[in-house]
């Protein structure tokens, strides 16, 4: 009986589509990866996470529900902001491609304007980031990346 149940379980798992976050890992140079992330981002900043707030869908909870991270902005590399504190949303879990920031830590953050979470946040657009963006703890960012980003930003201003 146990073998039959085990076989049925294995069969069900083998025919069920399991979805998880996957980021395309292309064999490109660091410079090329930075260039692509720069081009795709509406906002790139260095900031410290000061707060996080979980938002839930009213009907059900999911690993894809947004977490709103409040950042104290130290430096804007790309984009324009009028505030020193901003909100950036991401999915709650890495399973759904969410980037899990730690309160009190500083990060290099790549974000885009998106209406992805609008039904939950009630905003027309939110700044959104994901696990597949180049987000990194500031202590782990290579100097080469900051130099390249500054160079790209200065070329836009010309």
The model carries a pTM of 0.81
Residue 67 maps to which CATH number?
2.40.50.120
Domain that holds residue 121: 2-157
pLDDT tens for residues 53-70?
Answer: 887 666 666 667 789 999
Main-chain phi, psi angles of 60, to 5 degrees = -155, 160
Main-chain phi, psi angles of 19, to 5 degrees = -105, 135
d(Cα 22, Cα 94) in Å, to the nearest integer? 10
For residue 77, what pLDDT is reported? Answer: 96
pLDDT tens for residues 70-94?
Answer: 999 999 999 998 889 999 999 877 7
Residue-averaged pLDDT of the chain: 84
Q: How many CB atoms lie within 10 A of CB 80?
A: 7
What is the tally of structural domains in the chain? 1
């Amino acid at each position: 009986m146990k073998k039959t149940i085990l076989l049925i379980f294995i069969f069900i798992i083998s025919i069920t589509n399991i979805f998880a976050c996957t980021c395309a890992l292309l064999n490109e140079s660091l410079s090329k990866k930075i260039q692509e992330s720069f081009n795709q981002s509406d906002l790139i900043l260095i900031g410290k996470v000061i707060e996080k707030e979980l938002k839930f869908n009213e009907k059900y909870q999911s690993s894809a529900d947004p977490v709103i991270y409040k950042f104290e902005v130290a430096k804007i590399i790309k984009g324009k902001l009028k505030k020193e504190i901003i909100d950036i949303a991401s999915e709650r879990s890495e399973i759904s491609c969410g980037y899990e920031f730690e309160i009190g830590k500083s990060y290099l953050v790549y974000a885009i304007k998106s209406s992805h979470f609008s039904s939950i946040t009630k905003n027309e657009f939110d700044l959104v980031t994901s696990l597949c963006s180049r987000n990194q703890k500031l202590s782990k960012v290579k100097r080469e990346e900051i130099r390249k980003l500054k160079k790209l930003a200065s070329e836009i201003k010309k």
